[in-house]
Structures are given as structure tokens and as C-alpha cells.
Chains A and B, each alone.
Chain A
């Protein structure tokens, strides 16, 4: 094929002055190299760039992330108001209350995972990226955890003070949240992908995801109760770690499949 020939439909008129041969060099285009296996993708660099971008976006919209934290504080404050201020009772219910509040806050923040991309039309960039979609969704879940789960972990000791939880139990609480909240983000990403763009999506998302997160809740709150009861939380924390590994391996695949189903 001669790069100098010009073909134009007579119906699509152009000024004759513009009918000139254009060589690639004149067009200022560097011809791509086809067929050569494109330089090997850089999975880690792409993942880091994706996480960096999501953190940047979250930072520029700090209010959204702070809203989740405020919700956490609010829910934990509701329980003493509801059950009465008696310290022994509060100490007994503290692990459960704090864990349920963390679970609900994390679930409330899940729609944000893909909502932004869907709104500005950049979701296809993820679907058409060079790296496999599950890998990228792992990055998105990681970024989501850094912006919602990690602040919950850091705030939890402060809230544990409200319930007069002893120090070692508080430490176990923070550790259990540290191990449990990434699992919440990972499993939640599957739900977020499935309910993408549906009306009433946030409530539906909670309905879908909360039963699947019961194991994390059971072992997380159980860890603190075991510590408070003198049994030691090691077994629980190990189970939480196991659930995290399980979710890290499987959830991105499910979320990628769900995202493709939702955007087809």
C-alpha cells in the first residue's frame, strides 16, 4: 500500500489545498511497532500508579472519607445512648458494638469504589487496561482499604476508650480490625461490582455483602471477647488472617467477572 495515495469520497468534500500527501514523518507520528510483543507490562508499577491515583482522588475529596469516620463515631455513640451508661454492661458489649459499627461503616463506603469511574466514563480504562483486571481490582480494593478501613483501625482505640475497654483488649481490637477490614474491602468489591449502576444500589449492596462478611465479624469480635475472657485471641487472629488470604486470592477474580457482567 502506497503511503502517498489519497482516497477521498467525492461526497465528503475537502479543500483541494488540503489534499496533499502526508507521510508519517510529516504528520509527526511515530509509527507504533505492531506485532512485536509490546514491552512487557509492568504490573507492580501499574498497581502502584492505580493506588496512587485513588489516594490522590480521595485526598482531594477528603470530606467523603471523613464522612465514613464520622458515621463510625456516630454509630458507636448510639449504643450507650440506647442501652444505658452502666460501665460493666458497656464493657461487655464493646467488642461487638465496635465491630458492627466498623462493618457498617465499611459497607457504607463500598459504593464509592466504582461510582466515580462510572460517573465520569473512565470505567472502560480499567476494563481495557493492559494488566489483567483482577490485578487492577486488587489495587482498587487496597486503595479503598487505605482510605476507609485503615482510618477505622486507627480510630478504634479512641472509641474503645468510650467503652472503658482494657488496654490489652483494645490492642486485640485494633489488630483484629487491621486483619478484618481488608477482607471487608475485598469481599465488598465483589458486591460493589455486581450492584454497579443499580437504583437503590447502596442498600442492595449491604444486603448482598453483609451475610458474606459474617465470618469476619464472628472471628473479629470473638478475638476481643476471647482476650477479655482470658482465653487468648491467637486462634481468632489466625483465622482472620486465613480469611484475608482466602479473600485476597479469590475476591479479585469474582469482582472482575462481576464488573464485566455489569458493564456488558
Chain B
């Protein structure tokens, strides 16, 4: 429910603490004048909802086209690998999924930090919307990693440093989602999830470093998922197209999810039924 007096949230204490004392008075008035600037104009759910609605179809179409092109190139056109045969083609799914899951976590951290500092509702909703997609991509990466491992090295799971780190990233995603699901109060859930994400972001380099250490020290199977030193052009092109397609898909899905979250949160707001006739 939008409140008549609370249209644009005041920046929080943290934002004001970051300002030097002499600028605080100016910062307050600047924040009140801020809504007219472009980035702030879309910072309210009311303005972002239709924007997201317009963007989703474009990204969805782009996702379909780019993924088709990338996967087509990768699965059909690119030459068979000399050492690994046709099984290597799984990288066209595995690598984009890995990229997206890692970047999505950073993006979650970015929106969480923004939300905690500026106390904008939309930032928290963006962070919430990113989590399931990132988790899905992480799971896809793990699954395709297992599928790749079986024909290539004969084992369904290999404790490679990167796969293990991806497993832990997947668990971090699940943790954030579980925490937000367990908290009934949406405001508390937003902030708790945001804080946990930030703690996770700070920890991810530490976790990755320790897993690397663990892996090299134990001299496990010397397998790695790095590509062969020379990579044929169709392979690279296919990979990039597939990555772009996955990215477009992720953005489309996240925007659609943000719209759904906005509709849930602002349920009953005056502007909502006018835009979405299907809303109750």
C-alpha cells in the first residue's frame, strides 16, 4: 500500500553517516529534490512496474533468438573436439550458467547494499527476484558439470575446486531463499536477506580461496573445466551467443519476478488495477 506521505523513502542513517557533517543539511534537501533525476524516477515501484512490463517481452524474444543461435552453433555447427568428443558441447550450457550464477550473486549483493543504505523498497525486491534465478543457474551448472564428468572421467561428481565452490554458492543461494521464506514480515525478510547476502559476498572470495587451497593440497583428480588452449571460432561464437541468450533469459525472468513481487507488495494500491486488469 503506498502511503500518501511516504512516497519516497528518506535515505537512512547509513547514508547520512557517509556524508561529512557540513553536507548533511544539504544532503537532506538533495534527497528530497532527488526524485526528479532519472535514476530516482524509476526507484519507486509505481514507476518501475510499467517499465519492467515493457522490457520483459523484448528480453524474452532476445533470449529465445540468441539461445537458439548459440546452442545451434554449439550443438550442430562447431567441430567435434579432438580429445573429448561430442561430450564437450555441454559447456555451451555449463559456462553461461556458471557466469550468470556468479554475477547474479554479485548483483544481489549490489541491490542489497543499495537497499540497506538508501532504504528503497525496489532494491530489496530486485535482490529477492534475483535469488531464484541465480540458484537455478547454479544448479544447472552443477548438473551439467556432473553430466560432463561422467562420459569424460567416468565419475558423476568430481571434487574440482570450481565445482565445489559452485556447490557452496548454490547453498548460499538456498540459505538466502530459506531465510526469506521463514520470515513472515516482508520488511524484516527483505533486510535480513540483504544482510545475509552481503555477508555471503564478503565471504565468497574467502570460501573460494580456501577451496582452491584444499583442492591443490590434496592433489585430487587433475581435471579442470578450462577450455583447451586453442578454441575454434565457431565454438567461441557459439559460447558467446549462448551466454548472451542466457543473460537475456535471466534478465527477462528477473524483471517478470520483480513485477510479480511489486504486485504482491503493493496489493490494493490505487495505481495497480489500472495497469493490470487481472490483479484482484
Most buried by A among B187, B198, B202, B210: B210
State whether B191 touches A261 (Cβ < 8 A): yes
Nearest CB to that of B185 among chain A residues?
A264
B58 contacts the other chain (Cβ, under 8 Å)?
no
Contact with B along A230-264 (1 / 0, CB 8 A): 00000000010001001000100010011001101
Which of B's residues lie within 8 Å of A, judged by CB?
A: 116, 168, 171-172, 174-175, 178-179, 182-183, 187-188, 191-192, 195-196, 198-200, 202-203, 206-207, 209-211, 213-214, 217
**A-side contacts of B116, CB under 8 Å:** 257
Query: Once the chains bind, are A222 and B179 in contact (CB under 8 Å)?
Result: no
Given contacts A254-B195, A261-B191, A204 and B182 within 8 Å (CB-CB): yes
Closest to B176 in A: A208
Q: Which of A207, A218, A261 contacts B174 (CB 8 A)?
A: A207
The residue in B175, B179, B187 that gathers the most chain A C-beta atoms within 10 A of its C-beta is: B175
Main secondary structure of the interface of A (DSSP, over half): helix
Give complex CA distance A113, B187 in Å: 24
Q: Contact between A250 and B202 (Cβ–Cβ < 8 Å)?
A: yes
Inside 8 A of A218's CB, which chain B residues have their CB?
Answer: 210-211, 213-214
Enumerate chain B residues within 8 angstroms of A243, measured Cβ to Cβ.
206
Residue of A nearest to B167 (CB): A211
How far apart sit A195 and B199, CA to CA, in the bound complex (Å)? Answer: 14
Question: Which of chain B's residues have a CB closer than 8 A to the CB of A254?
Answer: 195, 198-199
Q: How large is the interface on A (under 10, 10 to 19, 20 to 34, 35 or more residues)?
A: 20 to 34
Interface centre among A190, A243, A262, by most chain B C-beta atoms within 10 angstroms, is A262
Q: Does A49 contact B (CB under 8 A)?
A: no
- A195-B179 in contact (CB<8A): yes
A194 is an interface residue with CB less than 8 A from chain B = yes
- The complex places the Cα of A195 from the Cα of B195 at a distance, in Å, of 12
Residue in A200, A219, A222 whose beta carbon sits within 8 Å of that of B182 in the complex: A200
A-B contact pairs, 25 of them (CB 8 A): A194-B196, A195-B179, A195-B182, A204-B182, A208-B175, A208-B179, A208-B196, A210-B171, A211-B172, A211-B207, A212-B172, A212-B199, A212-B207, A214-B210, A218-B210, A218-B213, A219-B213, A222-B214, A250-B202, A254-B195, A257-B116, A258-B195, A261-B188, A261-B192, A264-B191
Known contacts A208-B179, A215-B207, then 17 further A-B pairs from the complex at CB < 8 Å, ordered by chain A residue? A194-B192, A194-B195, A198-B182, A198-B183, A200-B182, A201-B182, A208-B175, A208-B196, A211-B207, A212-B199, A214-B168, A215-B206, A218-B211, A218-B213, A261-B188, A261-B192, A264-B188
B171 neighbours in A (Cβ, 8 Å): 207, 210-211
CB-defined contacts of A201 to chain B, threshold 8 Å: 182
Query: A262 vs B188: C-alpha distance in the bound complex, in angstroms?
Result: 7
Residues of A within 8 A of B183 (CB): 198
Task: Assess whether A199 is interfacial by the CB under 8 Å rule.
Answer: yes
Residue of B nearest to A242 (CB): B206
Does A207 lie within 8 Å of B178, measured CB to CB?
yes
The residue that A194 contacts in the complex, of B179, B206, B207, with Cβ under 8 A, is B179
Residue of A210, A211, A222 touching B217 (CB-CB under 8 A): A222
Which residues of chain B have C-beta atoms less than 8 A from A246's C-beta? 206
Complex Cα gap A254–B203 (Å): 12
B217 CB to nearest chain A CB (Å)? 6
Q: In the complex, what's the smallest C-beta–C-beta distance from A212 to chain B, in angstroms?
A: 5
With A211-B207, A219-B210 given, is the CB distance from A261 to B182 under 8 Å?
Answer: no
Could you tell me the distance in whole angstroms from the C-beta of A220 to the nearest C-beta in chain B?
10
Question: Known interface pairs A190-B199, A222-B213, A257-B195. Does A211 touch B182 (Cβ–Cβ under 8 Å)?
Answer: no
CB–CB A258/B192 < 8 A: yes
Q: Which residues of A contact B210 (CB under 8 A)?
A: 214-215, 218-219, 239
| Distance in Å: Cβ of B270 to nearest Cβ of chain A | 28
